[in-house]
Amino acid sequence: MPPSLTIIAVDPGRNGATVIRNDGHLELVIKHLEVFASNESLSPLATYAELIVKHAYGDRVMIVREAASSRRGNSSKSTWSFAYGIGRVDAAIELALGSRAVCALQYLPTPKTWMTAMDCLTGGDKNITKTKAAAMFPSLKVTHATADALLISEYAERFLK
């Protein structure tokens, strides 16, 4: 039997989400805003890490985090907040996976890369990805917060395995 594969797909940022899939099956969707809220303590980080530990049980791990960056013209405070949020998500994943994080395959596709592959370039209209994700995952209540992470997980399942 081949080793099992866990895919951790991340749409970074405060309003993003993380999706965990084990051997192609959707295991968990984590909305960052619900976990991290505005609490600056380590407890949200630990909560996020605990969810990953509990649900990411594959022998092999693939981490696919969108290569996002702050937008041109954003204030330095906004840019710092964005980078801080990405750092918290990355740190929690590494904390959760421990030594498995060192061996994990890591991909950082740009939004254009995964959106082109999934045939859902938005041109700034987030409803395009939400509609596409809702069609692909009809049993889930897809929101703007979860749509991109779901599609990134499907991109990884189809094109990166």
- Pairing, β 5-11 against β 60-65: parallel
- What pLDDT sits at residue 106? 93
Instruction: Please classify residue 87 by burial: count the beta carbons closer than 10 Å to its beta carbon, then call 0-12 exposed, 13-18 middle and 19+ buried.
Output: exposed
At 76, which amino acid appears? S
DSSP E strand stretches across 12-104: 17-22, 25-31, 60-65
Entry pTM: 0.91
Distance between first and last Cα of the chain: 16
Contact yes or no for 126/142 (Cβ under 8 A) = no
DSSP string, 37-49: TT--SSHHHHHHH
Q: At what angle do helices 126-136 and 144-155 cross, to 10 degrees?
A: 60
Instruction: Give the pLDDT of residue 55.
Output: 95
pLDDT, position 135: 98
How is residue 8 written in tokens?
């951790």
pLDDT at 118: 98
Give the model's pLDDT for residue 42. 56
CA–CA gap between residue 154 and residue 77 (Å, rounded): 33
Q: What is the pLDDT along the chain (161 residues), one digit of tens a residue?
A: 778 999 999 998 878 999 999 999 999 999 988 887 655 555 788 889 999 999 999 999 999 999 987 777 888 888 888 888 888 888 889 989 988 887 899 999 999 999 999 999 999 899 999 999 999 999 999 999 999 999 999 999 999 98
Q: What is the pLDDT of residue 40?
A: 55
How far is 120 from 27, CA to CA, in rounded Å?
A: 23
For the chain, domains (ranges, CATH) are 5-160 (3.30.420.10)
The pLDDT, as a whole number, for residue 29 is 97
Say how far residue 6 (Cα) sits from the centre of its chain: 13
- For position 66, what pLDDT does the model report? 95
